[in-house]
Amino acid sequence: MIKRFIALALLVGVGLIFTTLMMTYEPDANLNLTAHYYAEHTANDVGSANIVTAILVTYRGLDTLGEVTVLFLASSIIGLVLSLGKKQNKTLRNLVPVGELLTTGSLYLAPIIVLLGVYVFVNGHLTPGGGFPGGAIIASSMLLLLLSDPLKHFSHGLISFVESISGFVYVALGVLGIVMAGSFLDNRILPLGQFGELISAGAIPLIYSLIGLKVGAEFSSMLANLSEMEDL
């Protein structure tokens, strides 16, 4: 009874906070100072049609490097913890039979989903999306393959290779920015090109593709490790 009352009181309190927030909220008539700066200068300085991408990859590129590092640490620790248990004996595992629809459908869908993921991160500087959604889309196609065939084995060597190479080149491009353009992860190490073209905005398409590959590889390695885990 008291538990319920406390839960209810908490809910009412949170509801009150949000109601007052909603009531007193007034949308800004103009962009604030920072947003105004980004809106004014992105096209000339960075050359990216998508301002969000320009902020994520160039203006706040260091934060994105940090995010990628966090994801990398998470996936390595998951791999470490799961590899402590011994590998399962695959023949002994009881599997729920997989339906025909899932098997056939996933074989048709997986390449298309991978293609969509690549499209999303290659066009990150032109259209919404970018490295993180693109990588997650690629990883979800891997998960679909795992769902249709739970005994499927992904090459860990290939996944780690893609992950390390893209991470290394990402940081190397950032350092190259210091040397050639004056600041870490500066995209002007390559020519900015025609605004709105696929190959434009300097190094942004390259960096975002690397981020996409890295995120996809990290999620895929987590899923592969989970799928090869022994039943508890």
User: Rule CB under 8 A: which residues touch another protein?
Assistant: 50, 52-53, 93-96, 120, 128-130, 132-134, 136-137, 139-140, 143-144, 146-147, 150, 219, 223, 226-227, 231-232
Which CB, 153 or 183, lies closer to another protein?
153
Please name the residues in contact with 161: beta carbons below 8 A apart, sequence gap of 6 or more.
none
> What kind and span of H or E run contains 214?
helix 204-228
Nearest distance from C-beta of residue 144 to another protein, angstroms: 6
Which CB, 84 or 96, lies closer to another protein?
96
Q: In terms of Cα–Cα distance, which of 210, 205, 209 is closest to 48?
A: 205
Nearest distance from C-beta of residue 59 to another protein, angstroms: 15
Instruction: Name residue 129's amino acid.
Output: G
Nearest distance from C-beta of residue 183 to another protein, angstroms: 24
Which CB, 93 or 168, lies closer to another protein?
93
Which CB, 136 or 171, lies closer to another protein?
136
The pairs formed by 105-112 with CB atoms below 8 angstroms and a separation of 24 or more are: 105/148, 106/144, 106/145, 106/147, 106/148, 107/148, 109/141, 109/144, 110/141, 110/142, 110/144, 110/145, 111/141
Which CB, 190 or 201, lies closer to another protein?
201
Q: Residues 48, 205: contact at Cβ < 8 Å?
A: no
Q: In terms of Cα–Cα distance, which of 157, 142, 138 is closest to 224?
A: 142
Nearest distance from C-beta of residue 197 to another protein, angstroms: 20
Nearest distance from C-beta of residue 129 to another protein, angstroms: 4
Which CB, 130 or 177, lies closer to another protein?
130
Per DSSP, helices labelled H in 25-155 are: 33-45, 51-53, 61-84, 100-122, 131-148
221 to each of 68, 115, 145, how far by Cα in Å? 14, 19, 14
Nearest distance from C-beta of residue 137 to another protein, angstroms: 5
